[in-house]
Amino acid sequence: MSSNSHVLFSLMFFSFSCKFLYVVSGRSSPRSNTDLFILACGDSSSKTDANGRKWVPDSEYLTSSCNSMSATAESQDPSLPSSVPYMSARVFTSECTYKFSVSPEKHHWVRLHFYPSSYSSLDPLEAYFSVTAGEFTLLNNFSASITAQALTQAYIIREFSLKPSQSGSLILTFTPSSKQKGSYAFVNGIEMVSVPADVFESAPLVGFSDQSVDVNDSSLQTMFRLNIGGKYIPPNNDSGLTRTWYDDSPYLFGAAFGVTSQAAKNVTIRYPSGVPGYIAPIDVYSTARSMGPNAKVNENYNLTWVFQVDANFTYLVRFHFCDFQLTKVNQRAFDIYINNQTAQAAADVIAWSGSKGVPVYKDFATHTSDGPGNEELWVALHPSVSMKPEYYDAILNGLEIFKLNDAARNLAGPNPVPSPMLLKAVSDEKKAFAPSESNNQSKLISGIAAGIAGLVLVAAICIFIHRRKKIADGSECAASWLPLYGNSQTSACKSTICGRSDVGRSLSSQAAVMCRHFTLAEIKQGTKNFDESQVIGVGGFGKVYKGIVDRGTKVAIKRSNPCSEQGVNEFQTEIDMLSKLRHRHLVSLIGCCEENGEMILVYDFMGNGTLREHLCKSNMSHLSWKQRLEICIGAARGLHYLHTGAKYTIIHRDVKTTNILLDENWVAKVSDFGLSKTGPNLDQTHVSTVVKGSFGYLDPEYFRRQQLTEKSDVYSFGVVLFEVLCARPALDPSLPKEQVSLADWARQCQRMGVLEEIIDPHLRGKINPKCLNKFAETAEKCLSEHGIDRPSMGDVLWNLEFVLRLHKNPDGEVMIPEDKVNADYTMHRTMLTIEEESTASEETDDVNTSAAFSQLVDFKGR
Ligand SMILES: *[C@@H]1O[C@H](CO)[C@@H](O)[C@H](O)[C@H]1NC(C)=O
Ligand SMILES: *[C@@H]1O[C@H](CO)[C@@H](O)[C@H](O)[C@H]1NC(C)=O
């Protein structure tokens, strides 16, 4: 290995390495007198990562002659944020030490980056090792592979804050575990940056009014660092300290998420003298999560976050606050609980900070008992009712949780234990190796496709002409009050078809023009003055009533909660989206009403309610397999249309069984567009702001990378498919841990070949095995970890239609070889188009025709 020459080299240069480093890594703009090292371990030259930070080779910091080598990862996981530093590693087969010259009497943040992969053909599961920093144990018998698996992450970053050493050097030692034979250690990246002197002081110990913990005397491990109610903040946006701040929503407990808010543009956030800017960046303080506008609701719940931690340690919990809305003391007073104990009664951000827009932070220490069952840390907020504040509300802007070393100077916890089922599933996955298919079939398919293409072209032109005629005489419009929308037409055209310009003060002008206006009197009459008996649903947006308008037309009426800003935004999005869309499988907006500060949307009434009710309520008639397939196909059509049918890709973002409605003929309609995203730039950037959606249905990749694509809808739809098959909710916290998430559980059962055991008992024995296989396989593909591995909505639709044909005719010849469904996109697209047109024949749908038309043009161009 070349490690020996590296060692020589490093000894020669060690004496002035520190100065050298300032030059090399100057890009990260260290404050004066700061130690800063950013090492890409195992790399031979300096490289820049995706955030523009420069990483330098590690070899000159390796001190003793030990057995180490540089290696390159065998494969690159798509969820890695950057190939630097993860694609190269330093691998140690015996104890090895890095030595850094640092300023004495300073704390240092050390970040270790691990990407468990196969390096030089070594098995990642055999890497067990410990890492120490001087006398402190940071990691012990650590398996990056098991940890990453249990957290379902591709890579692991461990951050520690280390006590200063007297000697002016900081020594990191990697030791392969002696317990496991053939064990080795590895690391991909090491960062070290000095911590400003006053970042940690002492913190009161919760539950012991007279005790405090001297944090400055401890070494710490960062467990969580969250930008509450805000978005991911990458290291280069963090005031030179290169910390990463994550979105908090994955840690929220239960269904009560509160509401998020952002400081208005005219509010300036100013650090007071006691809070240096490096405590947390402005971005953390300018977003927050609070409980919501309804005092009654807030009085009855705790805004709660739950964190997995190691038992038998003391933790420092740091709360970051900044009130950018209220200005007076006792407008918002709340209690803070940590692990069911009161950490702070009557917290009042304005009282602490003195005024609006001024950050303040509070530290508390808490100890978790030893023994199993103590691996959770709960943080909860509740309005301080006894203070009688003006608003019953609470607020939080940022949260950090640090683990303190124990009496044995140890910070290491055990490796997480993945369920045996998960382990088996992983090993099965490795064994399963799909052999490449023969070429004859694909030739056959392209032959069929070419034939069909000719037919479709003719059909599409006919339909197109037919539709044009209908638009011209305007009858469609009068009947539905909704404009027809061709994707190449302009809004001027739309408004002349149906427009009314006398509505909408705060609605976007386009939406106002496209929306039928109801008077508040009409709505009140139709809902018996919003009588509670008329309520058919409650959402984040407000209540949904059934009602009657136009002397007998049954409608659903969604009334926005006037105080909720989120509600107003979602109302706008919904109206913008729905007024532009018309499809048999999307719920139709009939009109709207905006009067007296009320915002009301009027929809077609869906006689059979939500898909969810038919899957869980025992008193409902049970849907047959065929009905379920038809409903899934309908919903898939609606989503496919959103993704491909309109001018821009529309991502629904909240696909779930309560958002799939059924009309009196059991036709499925996708509803609730309040969170939808669209825009001309979506395709290029895929960048989203805050992760939204519903737990149990959330795409894990979207979660981790906060990048939104239409494949996130495909993931959620995969959960819907399993829900339809198993008739259980996407999340069921009452079940044993490995079964709580339907997505995980069904996938494990599917991989182990025991899916039959968890399907709805009413379906057992009634599904042809081929059908079940195809259906489950489709659902499983939708749940692929990475978006690129998931099928498109069009492919999903094609597969479901195939299952339905198979169900209707189980013994008949299958026209298309079933395992080739992903082979030829063009063909499914064209097939789809035909079926879509024929099944929706009585429905006017101009967009669809245009979409079909453009697909054909596309097809011809290939
Ligand atoms: C909120 O949490 C505290 C502490 O765990 C608990 O005592 C209280 O009952 C909770 N309140 C509600 C409304 O759940
Ligand atoms: C808890 O930690 C202390 C040291 O801080 C140790 O002595 C004790 O054995 C630990 N208990 C368990 C169950 O690990």
Residue 620 has pLDDT above 70, yes or no: no
| Pocket probe mutation, ligand 2, options 218, 219, 312, max atoms within 8 Å of Cβ | 312
- Proximal ligand: closest to the CA of 367: 2
Residue nearest (by alpha carbon) to ligand 1 atom 7:
340
Residue 212 contacts residue 205 (beta carbons within 8 Å): yes
Q: What is the DSSP letter of 50?
A: T
Residue 686 has pLDDT above 60, yes or no: no
Percent of the chain's residues with pLDDT above 70: 73
**pLDDT for residue 840:** 35
Q: How far is the CA of 219 from the centre of ligand 2 (A)?
A: 17
Q: Please, where are the H alpha helices in 240-392?
A: 282-285, 295-299, 349-353
654 is catalytic: yes
Residue 507 has pLDDT above 50, yes or no: no
Q: Which residues contact 129 (CB under 8 A, 6 or more apart)?
A: 92, 139, 141, 142, 174, 175, 176, 177, 183, 184, 185, 186
pLDDT class of 275 with cuts at 50, 70, 90: confident
Q: What's the whole-number mean pLDDT along residues 41-68?
A: 88
Residue nearest (by alpha carbon) to ligand 1 atom 1:
302
Q: How far is the CA of 211 from the centre of ligand 2 (A)?
A: 20
Q: How far is the CA of 830 from the centre of ligand 1 (A)?
A: 57
| Pocket probe mutation, ligand 1, options 382, 385, 386, 393, max atoms within 8 Å of Cβ | 382
Residue 818 has pLDDT above 80, yes or no: no
**pLDDT for residue 833:** 33
- Pocket (CB within 6 angstroms of ligand 2): 312, 370-371, 406-408
Residue 524 has pLDDT above 60, yes or no: yes
Does the beta carbon of 301 lie inside 6 Å of ligand 1? yes
**pLDDT for residue 692:** 63
Does the beta carbon of 211 lie inside 6 Å of ligand 1? no
**pLDDT tens per residue, range 306-323:** 898 999 999 999 999 999
- Position in ligand 1 atom list of the atom nearest CA 382: 1
Q: What's the whole-number mean pLDDT along residues 400-429?
A: 75
Does the beta carbon of 667 lie inside 6 Å of ligand 1? no
- Position in ligand 2 atom list of the atom nearest CA 371: 13
- Position in ligand 1 atom list of the atom nearest CA 342: 4
Which has the minimum average pLDDT: 118-127, 480-489, 552-561?
Answer: 480-489
Q: What's the whole-number mean pLDDT along residues 529-533?
A: 87
Q: How far is the CA of 370 from the centre of ligand 2 (A)?
A: 7
Residue 495 has pLDDT above 70, yes or no: no
Which of 519 and 693 is assigned the larger pLDDT?
519
Look at residue 289 and give its three-state secondary structure. Answer: strand
Residue 184 has pLDDT above 90, yes or no: yes
Q: How far is the CA of 253 from the centre of ligand 1 (A)?
A: 13
Residue 82 contacts residue 49 (beta carbons within 8 Å): yes
Q: Which residues contact 283 (CB under 8 A, 6 or more apart)?
A: 227, 230, 233, 237, 245
**pLDDT tens per residue, range 731-785:** 887 777 788 889 999 999 998 888 888 888 888 888 999 999 999 999 999 999 8
Residue 452 has pLDDT above 70, yes or no: no
Q: What is the DSSP letter of 179?
A: S
Residue nearest (by alpha carbon) to ligand 1 atom 6:
340
User: Which residue reads 């007076």 in tokens?
Assistant: 328
Q: What's the whole-number mean pLDDT along residues 266-295?
A: 91
Q: What's the whole-number mean pLDDT along residues 208-216?
A: 89
Q: SS3 for 656-707, per residue?
A: CHHHEEECCCCCEEECCCCCCEECCCHHHHCECCCCCCCCCCCCHHHHHHCE
Residue nearest (by alpha carbon) to ligand 2 atom 14:
370
Q: How far is the CA of 223 from the centre of ligand 2 (A)?
A: 19
Which of 433 and 221 is assigned the larger pLDDT?
221
Q: How far is the CA of 369 from the centre of ligand 2 (A)?
A: 9
Does the beta carbon of 296 lie inside 6 Å of ligand 1? no
Which has the minimum average pLDDT: 84-93, 246-255, 391-400?
Answer: 246-255
Does the beta carbon of 187 lie inside 6 Å of ligand 1? no
Q: What is the DSSP letter of 621?
A: P
Residue 456 has pLDDT above 50, yes or no: no
Residue nearest (by alpha carbon) to ligand 1 atom 12:
301
Length of the chain: 862
Q: How far is the CA of 336 from the centre of ligand 1 (A)?
A: 10
**pLDDT for residue 725:** 94
- Proximal ligand: closest to the CA of 405: 2
Which has the minimum average pLDDT: 365-374, 390-399, 653-662?
Answer: 365-374
**pLDDT for residue 198:** 82
**Can you read off the two tokens belonging to residue 517?**
């206006």
Q: How far is the CA of 97 from the centre of ligand 2 (A)?
A: 28
Q: What's the whole-number mean pLDDT along residues 145-151?
A: 83
Does the beta carbon of 380 lie inside 6 Å of ligand 1? yes
Q: For the chain, what is the mean pLDDT?
A: 76
- What's the rounded Cα separation, in Å, for the pair 97 and 164? 18
- Proximal ligand: closest to the CA of 312: 2
Which has the minimum average pLDDT: 397-406, 455-464, 509-518?
Answer: 455-464
Residue 83 has pLDDT above 50, yes or no: yes
CA distances from 361 to 269, 311, 318, 543, 567 (A): 14, 26, 7, 37, 30
Amino acid at residue number 736: P
Residue 286 has pLDDT above 60, yes or no: yes
- Pick the closest to residue 443 from 823, 856, 829 (CA basis): 823
Does the beta carbon of 253 lie inside 6 Å of ligand 1? no
Does the beta carbon of 336 lie inside 6 Å of ligand 1? no
Catalytic residue among 348, 654, 744, 846: 654
Q: Can you point out the beta strands (E) in 550-653? A: 553-560, 589-595, 598-604, 650-651
Residue nearest (by alpha carbon) to ligand 2 atom 13:
370
Does the beta carbon of 378 lie inside 6 Å of ligand 1? no
**pLDDT for residue 25:** 34
**Can you read off the two tokens belonging to residue 312?**
């038998």
Does the beta carbon of 644 lie inside 6 Å of ligand 1? no
- Pick the closest to residue 169 from 251, 75, 226, 99 (CA basis): 99
| pTM across the whole model | 0.55
Does the beta carbon of 121 lie inside 6 Å of ligand 1? no
Residue nearest (by alpha carbon) to ligand 1 atom 8:
302
Of the ranges 1-10, 212-221, 436-445, which is most confident? 212-221
Q: What's the whole-number mean pLDDT along residues 805-817?
A: 68
Amino acid at residue number 496: T
Residue 499 has pLDDT above 60, yes or no: no
pLDDT class of 636 with cuts at 50, 70, 90: very high
- What's the rounded Cα separation, in Å, for the pair 683 and 587? 25
Which has the minimum average pLDDT: 657-671, 677-691, 722-736?
Answer: 677-691
Q: How far is the CA of 302 from the centre of ligand 1 (A)?
A: 6
Beta strands 54-57 and 36-40, pairing class = parallel
pLDDT class of 104 with cuts at 50, 70, 90: confident
Which of 569 and 379 is assigned the larger pLDDT?
379
Which of 149 and 114 is assigned the larger pLDDT?
114
Residue nearest (by alpha carbon) to ligand 2 atom 2:
312
Residue nearest (by alpha carbon) to ligand 1 atom 5:
340
**pLDDT tens per residue, range 326-344:** 999 999 999 999 999 999 9
Q: How far is the CA of 541 from the centre of ligand 1 (A)?
A: 26
Residue 445 has pLDDT above 50, yes or no: no
**pLDDT for residue 254:** 63
Q: How far is the CA of 312 from the centre of ligand 2 (A)?
A: 6
Which has the minimum average pLDDT: 666-675, 751-760, 853-862?
Answer: 853-862
Question: With b meaning 16 or more CB within 10 Å and e meaning fewer, what string describes 790-817?
Answer: bbbbbbbbbbbbbbbbbbeeeeeeeebe
- Proximal ligand: closest to the CA of 256: 1
Q: SS3 for 184-244, per residue?
A: CEEECEEEEEEECCCCCCEEEECCCCCCEEEHHHCCEEEEEEEECCCCCECHHHCCCCCCC
**pLDDT for residue 706:** 67
pLDDT class of 680 with cuts at 50, 70, 90: very low
**pLDDT for residue 695:** 75
pLDDT class of 245 with cuts at 50, 70, 90: very high
Look at residue 28 and give its three-state secondary structure. Answer: helix
**pLDDT for residue 561:** 64
Sign of the Cα torsion 130, 131, 132, 138 reads negative
- Proximal ligand: closest to the CA of 368: 2
Does the beta carbon of 302 lie inside 6 Å of ligand 1? yes
- Position in ligand 2 atom list of the atom nearest CA 370: 13
pLDDT class of 92 with cuts at 50, 70, 90: very high
Does the beta carbon of 340 lie inside 6 Å of ligand 1? yes
Q: Can you point out the beta strands (E) in 504-550? A: 535-538, 542-549
pLDDT class of 213 with cuts at 50, 70, 90: very high
Residue 581 has pLDDT above 60, yes or no: yes
Beta strands 246-247 and 259-262, pairing class = unpaired
Residue 218 has pLDDT above 80, yes or no: yes
Which of 321 and 199 is assigned the larger pLDDT?
321
- Proximal ligand: closest to the CA of 298: 1
Q: Supply angle C-alpha 593, 596, 598, rounded to 5.
A: 50
Q: How far is the CA of 311 from the centre of ligand 2 (A)?
A: 9
Residue nearest (by alpha carbon) to ligand 2 atom 12:
370
**pLDDT for residue 646:** 67
Does the beta carbon of 382 lie inside 6 Å of ligand 1? yes
- Pick the closest to residue 25 from 57, 67, 70 (CA basis): 57
- Pick the closest to residue 145 from 191, 77, 93 (CA basis): 77
Q: Please, where are the H alpha helices in 109-259?
A: 144-150
Residue 144 has pLDDT above 50, yes or no: yes
pLDDT class of 853 with cuts at 50, 70, 90: very low
